[in-house]
């Protein structure tokens, strides 16, 4: 696809780069609009949320195909990332993000409020789907959990959504787990604790720019050592079998954990991440540093900053939901039992056909296999539209203008049933899971 420089960002011509004031942020977002349709003045909105260490740019390959199907597609640089700027009390930029900054703005409740506020500022009353990848899947999951009236469906990619945290016991399970990993031979540590290094910035805070090639490659389907599978339990010994970019050697930095990965496969990284795209990631993180994203991890691993989410403990996601990842992505299994809990309990409306592991695809699904991701997103969005018609038109009260039109209700009921159980819609074979 031909590209053009849009706001110094190498993008397809149909994607625009924009900035808008939202709360204490100047939010940078990419947008792809559908062809004009006078009968649809406000096309349905799809919001795409990136993970770490990524940007709104991570969605560049899927935005235009989704917009061509009739959606207003928006991808944000989230708080602490890219060209989104945090503002001080005067409204001026607050400056570079440092390890010593207040962590309160980076806690999950505030990240979700950012997205809810963004939807309001762009004058939408509902979102057809919120799609999150990696850490973005956590934000997307909470959006759907907390505001099902606003977010009509959820797509979780790579990292299963665990739901709200349980009420904590007096014993810190995180501290115990950290101790158990350290007692292995050789000693290990979890990558989230590494990114959350207490008391001083992680040593590669600036050097991460030098690992980008190996880091992207190590978590892709092309690295031959990626063979994900469910683990029997969350014991330290079981987790020690997970690649070192998740369960790290105690003395390693992340660059050391992935060093040389790009030279160990047969497919070059450039086939799905061209040098131009990789250079954009490097230039952006060279400019901003990584502390904004790392502050998300610091909040996630400190009970102080997750306590307000316990107001939702036990609450389930009620809107239609899909899990979409790659069969070579260890993100699916790095937290034993989380996938099963998500599909069996946390998301009460996640059908078996909507738990999809794309073949020969790693952690970066929307970049490695963008066409397959688009196909599944469109299949799911079509299904959600039918679900919305079914629940709003067929399940009505006595005041409904459709009351008594039994043939019409029957037709839509049959259509929804046929769709749900079709195995050839869009020529996609559903993943058997």
Q: Which of 62, 50, 14, 35 is nearest to 380 (CA)?
A: 62
pLDDT tens digits for range 81-134: 999 999 999 999 998 999 999 999 999 999 999 999 999 999 999 999 999 999
Please give the pLDDT value at position 197: 82
How high is the pLDDT of residue 421? 40
pLDDT at residue 350 tops 90: yes
Burial of 409 by CB count in 10 Å (0-12 exposed, 13-18 middle, 19+ buried)?
middle
d(CA 387, CA 381): 10
What percent helix, strand, coil does the chain show, rounded to 5?
40, 15, 45
**What is the pLDDT averaged over residues 64-92?**
96
The pLDDT assigned to 175 comes to 80
> What angle, rounded to 10 degrees, do the helices at 370-389 and 406-421 form?
160
pLDDT at 204 over 70: no
- Tokens representing residue 191 in the block: 């990558």
* pLDDT of amino acid 241: 95
Report the pLDDT value the prediction gives residue 167, as an integer from 0 to 100: 85
| Percent of the chain with pLDDT strictly greater than 90 | 74
What is this structure's pTM?
Answer: 0.89
**What pLDDT sits at residue 385?**
87
Predicted pLDDT at 161: 98
Average pLDDT over residues 248-276: 93
Beta strands in 205-330 (DSSP E): 247-249, 321-326
The overall average pLDDT reported for the chain is 87
Report the pLDDT value the prediction gives residue 408, as an integer from 0 to 100.
42
Q: Which of 156, 126, 124 is nearest to 142 (CA)?
A: 156
Q: How confident is the model over 208-231, as pLDDT tens digits?
A: 555 568 999 999 999 999 999 999
Determine the pLDDT at residue 211: 53
What's residue 405's pLDDT?
Answer: 44
Instruction: Categorize the per-residue pLDDT at 433 as very low, low, confident or very high, splitting at 50, 70 and 90.
Output: very low
Q: What is the DSSP string of 172-215?
A: -HHHHHHHHHHTSSS-EEEHHHHHT-SSS--TTTTGGGGTHHHH
What is d(CA 348, CA 107) in angstroms, rounded to the nearest whole number? Answer: 26
Q: Is the pLDDT of residue 406 over 60?
A: no
Residue 212 confidence (pLDDT): 67
Q: What is the pLDDT of residues 230-255, one digit of tens each?
A: 999 999 999 999 999 999 999 998 98
Bigger pLDDT: 276 vs 200: 276
**Confidence band of 80 (pLDDT split at 50, 70, 90):** very high
Band of pLDDT at residue 40, cut at 50, 70 and 90: confident
């Amino acid at each position: 696809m031909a590209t053009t420089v849009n706001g110094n960002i190498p993008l397809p011509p149909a994607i625009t780069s924009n900035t808008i004031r939202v709360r204490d942020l100047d939010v940078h977002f990419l947008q792809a609009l559908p062809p004009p349709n006078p009968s649809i003045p406000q096309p349905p909105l799809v919001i795409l949320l990136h993970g770490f260490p990524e940007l709104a740019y991570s969605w560049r390959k899927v935005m235009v195909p989704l917009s061509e199907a009739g959606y207003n597609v928006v991808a944000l640089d989230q708080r602490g990332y890219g060209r989104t700027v945090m503002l001080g009390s005067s409204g001026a930029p607050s400056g570079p993000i440092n390890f010593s900054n207040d962590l309160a703005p980076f806690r999950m409740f505030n990240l979700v409020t950012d997205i809810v506020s963004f939807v309001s500022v762009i004058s939408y009353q509902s979102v057809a789907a919120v799609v999150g990848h990696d850490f973005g899947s956590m934000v997307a999951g909470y959006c759907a959990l907390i505001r099902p009236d606003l977010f009509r469906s959820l797509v979780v990619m790579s990292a299963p959504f665990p739901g709200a945290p349980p009420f904590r016991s007096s014993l810190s399970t995180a501290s115990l787990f950290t101790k158990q990993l350290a007692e292995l031979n050789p000693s290990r540590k979890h990558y989230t604790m590494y990114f959350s290094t207490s008391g001083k910035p992680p040593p590669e805070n600036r050097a991460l720019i030098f690992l980008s090639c190996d880091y992207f490659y190590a978590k892709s389907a092309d690295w031959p050592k990626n063979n994900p599978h469910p683990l029997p339990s969350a014991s330290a010994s079981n987790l020690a079998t997970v690649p070192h970019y998740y369960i790290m050697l105690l003395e390693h930095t992340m660059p050391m954990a992935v060093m040389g990965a790009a030279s160990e496969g047969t497919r070059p990284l450039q086939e799905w991440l061209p040098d131009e795209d990789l250079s954009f990631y490097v230039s952006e993180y060279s400019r901003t540093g990584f502390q904004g994203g790392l502050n998300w991890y610091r909040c996630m691993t400190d009970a102080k900053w997750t306590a307000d989410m316990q107001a939702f403990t036990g609450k389930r996601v009620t809107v239609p939901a899909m899990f979409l990842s790659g069969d070579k992505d260890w993100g699916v299994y790095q937290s034993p039992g989380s996938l099963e809990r998500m599909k069996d309990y946390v998301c009460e409306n996640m059908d078996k056909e909507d738990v999809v592991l794309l073949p020969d695809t790693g952690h970066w699904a929307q970049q490695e296999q963008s066409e397959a991701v688009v196909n599944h997103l469109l299949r799911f969005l079509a299904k959600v539209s039918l679900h919305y018609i079914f629940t709003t038109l067929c399940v009505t009260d006595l005041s409904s203008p459709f009351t008594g039109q039994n043939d019409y209700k029957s037709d839509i009921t049959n259509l929804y049933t046929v769709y749900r159980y079709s195995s050839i819609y869009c020529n996609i074979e559903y993943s058997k899971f």
